[in-house]
Chain A
Amino acid sequence: MSVSRKKGIDYWLPKLVVSPTLVIALVFFYGFVLWTTFISFTNSSFLPSYDFVGFDQYVRLFMNPRWLNAMWNLVVFGVLFIGICMVVGLVMAILLDQNIRAEGAIRTIYLYPMALSFIVTGTVWKWLLNPTVGIEKFVISLGWDSFIFDWIIDPDMAIYTVVIAGVWQASGFVMAIFLAGLRGIDTSIIKAAQLDGANLFAVYTRIIIPSMRPVFFSAFIMLAHIAIKSFDLVIALTGGGPGNSTDVPAIFMYQFSFQRGQLGIGAASAVIMLMTVLAILVPYLYSELRTPKNG
């Protein structure tokens, strides 16, 4: 290939190189979101139709008890999953930050579930939580005859098993983020505080944790994102059951769109999911963009 000195080539070549990605962004991101939004305002069923019906699909969606149940499950799962992951992740990060021998090995163990597919996690926990072969049977065999741990087959409790498996998979990841945050803190402030007589607890609660606000924020965003998209974990763990008791919006969207042929209501549920993500994301991006970085 000849090296061109012409301004011309170096002017258009970079644009040519990014043009496939520009097409991707315009068509596959923005175009497709618009298309989905458009479909949600039509009476599409098995095939997309272009008969505009206004907000009918959204009305049907929010009149549908399965959807309301799925949204409620997402709230329950999301709050517990994010909350527990944050607490466990923070506590483990602080404990690991105390000059621990073999820190690397311990960190590796805490984080490996993040390398697994949610399908694998779901398969394993489905077996462990199965009362007839898993933890319940094991504890009973130890001599505690009345032990019951059958959440996975109890419609009222099954959603909490999704939390258990989700926390197992993602909490080590949150620990890694927090640990990186802890290591990024200016140690001179901490030393100064300790010279002033602050104990370790006070150093963490008054200085370190407040200064990690951005880290909390990005961990929250990541976890919220995982929670809203949660699909594979629930499919593999409970399949949405018993009954529809562990339905989440992602499963609702999949079943209505691809198994029941109700594209309109499926699209409407997808739009609501997108809005939920944006509602969490926009304030975050806004605060990020206000502080310019990376020149």
Chain B
Amino acid sequence: MAKSKNPSYASINGRAVLYAVLIIVAAYYLLPLILMIMTSFRSMDEIRMGQLIEWPKSFSLDAWSMAWSEVQIGAREDRGLRPYFINSILMVIPSVAISTTLGALNGYVLSFWKFRGSELFFGALLIGCFLPFQAILLPQSQLLGWLGLSGSLPGLILTHVVYGVSFTTLFFRNYYVNLPHELVKAAKLDGAGFWVIFFRIILPLSAPILVVTVIWQFTQIWNDFLFGVVFSDPSSQPVTVGLNNMVNSSTGEKQYNVDMAGAIIAALPTIVVYVVAGKYFVRGLTAGSVKG
């Protein structure tokens, strides 16, 4: 894994410069987040008088409660980001569960129960990883209209499942293909059927790819804005749409502390997932890119 130390970097000066560069770049990535957090704890008076980069003089949670449940977003009755946040949760759980289940079953079939045309089917499915969604927005909104699901959470969930299944299938298929096939062959000879092999042999081996897929799908769906803005109405809009409406529609003086608190609220679930399970997050990103 690790490469041998190169003599040209052995000198202390070289290493010092190297670390300095790495730390400056780290600051570049971190600074916006730190400023966001600090600003969200400051009062608007302090922001107006003070500076962009300044330690909060007083620690206040007002902006957070404003963003969460008090600020008027659009014309709806419920205030704050809370209803949007709840919509996002109600949307993301079934979407992730269904698309991951479908992906696991598809990957299982495409790896261990190949049939004539199954490779072609897999190849045809992969277009879904690359499709610019603009090419399907119009018919999808027509379809949701016919189904009576326009502007509803079920419509949004259906959309996320349908356009997430390519990635989930790709993840599971690429993982299962590298499992030892002898296991399944032996089980088949012993007379074990399709479901028994899946639940007794394959599923217990699937924990790593399950985590990668769930994290990937969770991040994608939580962060989605396009489907949220096109296919939902105010009663079903996810938090990304709520945040955007909050930041761009508020009349009167801009409340940067509230905006930043709102941005952190919208980002918190995926940041938590990233901090807790970053390793799997990276694996999903690279699997989705290198193998896609």
Contact = CB atoms under 8 A, between A and B. Distances in A.
Contacts of A274: 131-132, 134-135
A99 B18 CA distance: 11
Given A112-B271, A187-B3, A270-B132, A295 B163 contact: no
Nearest to A112: B274
B177 interface: yes
Interface string B212-247: 000000010011111001100000000010011001
Interface string A101-132: 00000111111111111111001111110000
Nearest to B281: A115
A222 B287 CA distance: 12
Interface string B1-23: 11111101100000000110110
Given A4-B193, A10-B193, A200 B140 contact: no
B226 A231 contact: yes
Contacts of A24: 128, 162, 165
Contact of B136 (A33, A133, A177, A219): A33
Nearest to A263: B138
Q: What's the interface size class on B, roughly? A: 35 or more
Interface string A1-35: 10111000110011101101110110011111101
Given A109-B29, A180-B286, A229-B133, A18 B193 contact: no
A125 B136 CA distance: 30
A100 interface: yes
Q: What's the interface size class on A, roughly? A: 35 or more
B263 interface: yes
A250 interface: yes
Interface string A146-167: 0000000000000000000000
Give the interface centre of B5, B35, B47, B262 by most chain A CB atoms within 10 Å.
B35
A225 interface: yes
B237 to A, nearest CB: 12
B140 A28 contact: yes
Interface string A57-92: 000000000000000000000000000000000001
A232 B285 contact: no
A35 B136 CA distance: 8
Interface of B: 1-6, 8-9, 18-19, 21-22, 25-26, 28-30, 32-33, 35-36, 39, 47, 51-53, 102, 105-106, 108-110, 113, 115, 118, 121, 124-125, 127-128, 130-142, 162-163, 165, 169, 174, 177-178, 191-196, 219, 222-226, 229-230, 240, 243-244, 247-248, 254, 256, 259-260, 262-263, 266-267, 270-271, 273-275, 278, 281-282, 285-286, 289-290, 292
25 contacts: A3-B196, A18-B105, A18-B109, A20-B102, A22-B121, A32-B136, A92-B22, A96-B22, A109-B29, A111-B281, A112-B271, A117-B224, A123-B260, A124-B263, A141-B51, A176-B285, A187-B3, A215-B290, A232-B226, A232-B240, A236-B244, A254-B134, A270-B135, A273-B132, A276-B132
